[in-house]
Amino acid sequence: MFEKVLIANRGEIALRVLRACRELGIQTVAVHSTADATAMHVRLADESVCIGPPPASESYLNIPAIVAACEITGADAVHPGYGFLSENARFAQILEEHEIAFVGPSAEHIRIMGDKIEAKQTARKLGIPVVPGSDGGVSGHAEARKVAREVGYPVLIKAAAGGGGRGMKVALNEDEIDTALSTAQTEAKAAFGDDAVYIERYLAKPRHIEIQVFGDGQGNAVYLGERDCSLQRRHQKVWEEALSPALNAAQRKQIGETCAQAMAELKYSGAGTIEFLYEDGEFFFIEMNTRLQVEHPVTEAITGLDLVQEQLRVAAGAKLGFTQDDITFHGHAIECRINAENPQTFVPSPGRVVGLHQPGGLGVRVDSGIYTGYSIPPYYDSLIGKLIVHGRDRNECLMRLRRALGEYVIEGIDTTIPLFLRLLEQPDIIDGEYDIHWLEKFLKNNAAA
């Protein structure tokens, strides 16, 4: 096992990784920008190194600084968390060259899955169901029309290098295809410096369901059930649950085994998530995230596994310590992302936390790096904590979630806690009847309230 792990991230996920290391007896190095000198994980780490000024490009994305921090501390592995350098193939490559372990898959797997077109081709090759669409990039208007006709309207035009909803356009019929193509190309160029786009079937009311997979890079891989992350605002997940209220056991087993088999064949190493749109019983591959997800705790709650510990074990060369038969799903779990944002307008609300009381008791987990007196810096995303609640069934989980949210006190800043309390009053949420558009519609309809 590793002696000392450098945590190349910040916020709640840095603390999450630190906890796993500590529980495995591994020393920790926290790297941080000048804005994060007082962060919880920095205070708790065995060592810390300031790597740059507040802008992430000069600190958390600064590869030379992070490698230098490994050198001066003697860290033998880096855990990248999520975001930042977690899916940067070059970073994984450089660490390898410096003989520092990267807690994640191989640079090659990161690269393949980081390219939307190659990812889709690979998925199809591995037997993972993909959404019907162009096999590769589409550039001309004539080609776009031809592909769209084959795929069937409505279609979606997406930037090949994209993410976060930028460079995405829907064409409901052939009249709209020319404008949609041009707009998508222009946006893609502006946002990613690359106007390559592709076309696929547009799904009207899909759910976002993702399969957690785990491999050891030695040909063993398992699936750890799915997460339903359909409740999104501007393509940002807000609420995640496991298992999905929409799937039955047979569907779960089928898509899960397909994904696990694919990962075994790929010799994938570590944690990964294969994201799907799900509509009318069919799964359509969106992308694969080659890292830990924000919402991994709901999977931990229903499986009893510690995914970060498993990541560290596998990265250190161990084989998977369990087989598919060892995995059973217990009860139901929901995660709410607590953001420092106005719950109505979603305007970020950085500032000092003057009062804090986090919920406790049976079935309640809080992952958060904030503390009384902590100032949330304005430079990074607004996620300040995650409330994860587990119950024996979905109903108990919902009741417990309401109870826990009612105990949560964060003073001095706005948070999204009131939004979740409102969601818990909605029959659709209680019944698990929602798709990826539900939340946007709800917010639009209730904007005045």
Partner 1 sequence: MGKDSKTFDHEQIRILAEILADTGLTEIEVEQDGLKIRVAREVTVSYAPAPQHIVASPAPAAAAPAPEAPAAAAPAGNAAGTVKSPMVGTAYFSPSPGSAPFVQLGSQVKAGQTIMIIEAMKTMNQIPAPHAGTVKQILVSNGEPVEFDQPLMIIE
Contact residues toward a copy of itself (CB under 8 A) are 15-16, 19, 22-25, 44, 297, 300, 304, 306, 330-331, 355-358, 360-368, 371-372, 392, 396, 399-400, 402-403, 406-407
Is 14 a binder of partner 1 (CB under 8 A)? Answer: no
Give the interface segment with partner 1, choosing from 79-87, 121-129, 321-329, 417-425 (CB under 8 A): 417-425
Give least dist CB 166 to partner 1, A.
Answer: 31
Give least dist CB 52 to partner 1, A.
Answer: 5
Which CB sits closer to a copy of itself, 131 or 366? 366
Q: Which of 317, 321, 378, 406 binds partner 1 (CB under 8 A)?
A: 406
Residue 365 contact among partner 1, a copy of itself, none, beta carbon within 5 to 8 Å by kind: a copy of itself
Neighbours of 326 (CB within 10 A): 11
Which CB sits closer to a copy of itself, 207 or 400? 400
Give least dist CB 393 to a copy of itself, A.
Answer: 11
Residue 405 contact among partner 1, a copy of itself, none, beta carbon within 5 to 8 Å by kind: partner 1
Phi, psi at residue 334, to the nearest 5°?
-130, 140
Q: Which of 50, 170, 316, 443 binds partner 1 (CB under 8 A)?
A: 50
Give the interface segment with partner 1, choosing from 81-89, 111-119, 212-220, 401-409 (CB under 8 A): 401-409
Q: How are beta strands 77-79 and 101-102 bridged, if at all? A: parallel
Cα–Cα nearest to 75, from 50, 46, 37: 46
Q: How are beta strands 207-216 and 269-279 bridged, if at all? A: antiparallel
Which residue among 207, 291, 337, 394 is the active-site one? 291
Q: Which of 10, 14, 59, 232 binds partner 1 (CB under 8 A)?
A: 59
Query: Which residues 6+ apart lie within 8 Å of 91 measured at CB?
Result: 63, 66, 80, 85, 102
Which CB sits closer to a copy of itself, 272 or 359? 359
Which CB sits closer to a copy of itself, 24 or 68? 24
Give least dist CB 202 to a copy of itself, A.
Answer: 38
Query: Where in 88-127 is the site for partner 1 (CB under 8 A)?
Result: 98
Q: How far apart are CA 169 and CA 187, in angstroms?
A: 10
Query: Kind and range of the H or E element at 449?
Result: none
Which CB sits closer to partner 1, 253 or 352? 352
Q: How far apart are CA 406 and CA 41, in angstroms?
A: 27
Q: How are beta strands 282-289 and 269-279 bridged, if at all? A: antiparallel
Return the HEC string of 194-211. CCCEEEEECCCCCEEEEE
Please provide the DSSP assignment of 314-342 as one string: HHTTPPPS--GGG----SEEEEEEEESB-
Q: Which of 17, 21, 29, 376 binds partner 1 (CB under 8 A)?
A: 29
Residue 366 contact among partner 1, a copy of itself, none, beta carbon within 5 to 8 Å by kind: a copy of itself
Query: Which residues 6+ apart lie within 8 Å of 64 measured at CB?
Result: none
Residue 211 contact among a copy of itself, partner 1, none, beta carbon within 5 to 8 Å by kind: none
- CA 99 from chain centre, in angstroms, equals 28
C-alpha angle 157/158/162, rounded to 5°?
Answer: 165
Query: Where in 319-378 is the site for partner 1 (CB under 8 A)?
Result: 352, 354-357, 371-374
User: Is the Cβ–Cβ distance between 149 and 174 less than 8 Å?
Assistant: yes
Give least dist CB 413 to a copy of itself, A.
Answer: 16
Q: How far apart are CA 177 and CA 189, in angstroms?
A: 18
Neighbours of 19 (CB within 10 A): 17
Decide if 233 is catalytic: no
Distances (CA, A) of 63 to 9, 59, 100, 112, 334: 12, 8, 13, 21, 35
Active centre residues (catalytic): 291
Q: Which residues bind partner 1 (CB under 8 A)?
A: 27, 29, 34, 37-38, 40, 42-44, 46-53, 59, 64-65, 67-69, 71-74, 98, 352, 354-357, 371-374, 405-409, 411-412, 417-418, 421
